[in-house]
Amino acid sequence: MDAFVGVDIGTTSVKAVAFDPAGKQHGAAERRYELAEPAPGEAVQDPAEMLDAMADAIREVASQTSVRVAGLSVGAAMHSLVGLGDDGRPLTPLITWADTRAAAQATRLRAERPELHERTGTPLHPMSPLCKLLWFREQQPETFAAARRWVGIKELALERLTGELALDHSCASGTGLMALDRLEWDDEALAIAGIGPERMAPLVPAKQAFELSADVGLPAGTPVVAGAGDGPLANLGIGAVKPGVAACSIGTSGALRVMVERPAVDPGRSVFCYALTPSRWVVGGAINNGGVVLRWTGEALAPDLREHPEEELLPPAADVPAGSEGLMMLPYLYGERAPHWTTGASGAYVGMTQRHRRGHLVRAAIEGVCLQLALVLAAVRHAGHEVHEVRATGGFARSELWRRMLTSALGTPIGFPATHESSAFGAALVGMEALGMIDSFEAGADMLPLEQVIEPDPEEAKVYAELLPRFERIGEALAAESAPPAAEEPRPAP
């Protein structure tokens, strides 16, 4: 039986996993890289380092797999932006979703052009490449004028593998520059950014196939399928494709999404809408602060714990009751996104007293992440989407405390699949359907046995339900207090 390699280019690592059409793994590899923060508000990466890591991961999987690799497909984190010069080389680092320098531009667009959210599906937030382009246009006009093209990590990955510069509709739907109803670059959004379509990559469907030309341990000419964004692929790879079933993922960041058949954004503009295929879309919200919050607690609260600090932090947190005895953390270390898409959020501990210790601080941090996802779930439901079941994945799922706490915070049963590589599996499913290896990628919903299903603890769920409105009010108040002013009108394009 042939295998297909799914590639998942994430925020802090790239994974390559070989799956056969029955969902069995035939090899896996991961390479890590840094998310750099050289100055306040900046969150950037070296695209060359990321592409080398991708090639190395694919090469390792190819060496592990004893069956023929029929092809590979690429999933990638959304919202990244890098400017390319006339020679095709980067003029800028890769600006990631976590970069907040475009906060003022986002604030202005939210006030003056809110309809862009409905038309493109992308919230007007600093994460959006539309807002990032405005920032470059206004703050670095020389760089803006010198860039022949503006692309993200997905375009660079496809070009590295195939020599073709292209962007799938799914990742394009996270740029704020593509019209959802036409699956084409939106002329008005491009005009606001100050660029034309010739400075963007050509758009292709998720199932578009190219030929491999790079040396990654596979034969030249091996099919390379364009793939999609990591969020839509995670829904597919976790089996959350049916009505009422949501996917929740917590990696560096986090998200909660449902799959729908037609694109739509709620009137309150609290959710995003991103493409997978013309008949499959995901609606939901992403949060900036997932596993990175626990990592921060280890670095800030327990620098004495040298080896695996997170593992040593969790047992004391498990001994603290739900609600952390009145201590609350707003976990906005990297600002925040859904469901309010504000630009001024910052983190805070609230309610601290002399009785609180390290275990309280850690538990309150994890609870803050779970409560933020509970706000996203409420927004998805308020937008008119039924959710009666959640499936969850990501590195957090290896912790029983995280699993139990998230289940009670969401107040709904959560199923945990046996594999945590949902985006890589989703990419492989899209590729296998494109090559005719499976009848339909929705069949992935039936391939994934659930390792565990957890029901909410009634007492803990009650505590979190009572805590959630206060958590939301305090978060909104802090965000309003530190919100940036809107940027001035953009200068004419150079």
* CATH code assigned at 136: 3.30.420.40
Query: Got the DSSP string for 295-363?
Result: HHHHHHH-TT--S-HHHHHHHHHHTSPTTGGG-EEE--BTB--TTTT-S----EEES--TT--HHHHHH
Q: Find the angle CA(67)-CA(71)-CA(74) to the nearest 5 degrees.
A: 125
In a domain, 476, yes or no: no
Residue 31 main-chain phi, psi, to 5 deg? -130, 135
In a domain, 341, yes or no: no
The residue segments making up the domain with residue 77 are 3-238
Name the residue with tokens 């449902």: 258
In a domain, 414, yes or no: no
In a domain, 332, yes or no: no
Number of separate domains in the chain: 1
In a domain, 412, yes or no: no
Q: Take residue 22 and report the two structure tokens written for it.
A: 């029955």
**Residue pLDDT tens, the chain, 494 long:** 799 999 999 999 999 999 999 889 999 999 999 999 999 999 999 999 999 999 999 999 999 999 999 999 999 999 999 999 999 999 999 999 999 999 999 999 999 999 999 999 999 999 999 999 999 999 999 999 999 999 999 999 999 999 999 999 999 999 999 999 999 999 999 999 999 999 999 999 999 999 999 999 999 999 999 999 999 999 999 889 888 999 998 888 899 999 999 998 888 899 999 999 988 999 999 999 998 898 899 888 888 775 665 677 888 999 999 999 999 999 999 889 999 998 778 899 999 999 999 999 999 999 999 999 999 999 999 999 999 999 998 777 778 899 999 999 999 999 988 777 889 999 999 999 999 999 888 776 667 778 899 999 999 999 999 999 999 999 999 888 876 665 555 444 43
Residue 171 to residue 191: CA distance in whole angstroms: 20
| Distance in Å from the first CA to the final CA of the chain | 56
What three-state secondary structure class fits 115? helix
pLDDT at position 487, please?
53
**pTM reported for the whole predicted model:** 0.90
In a domain, 111, yes or no: yes
Name the residue with tokens 């010739």: 198
In a domain, 404, yes or no: no
pLDDT at position 445, please?
64
In a domain, 264, yes or no: no
pLDDT at position 307, please?
63
Residue 27: its H or E element: strand 25-32
Q: Take residue 16 and report the two structure tokens written for it.
A: 């390559």
Name 185's bridge partners. 178
pLDDT at position 352, please?
96
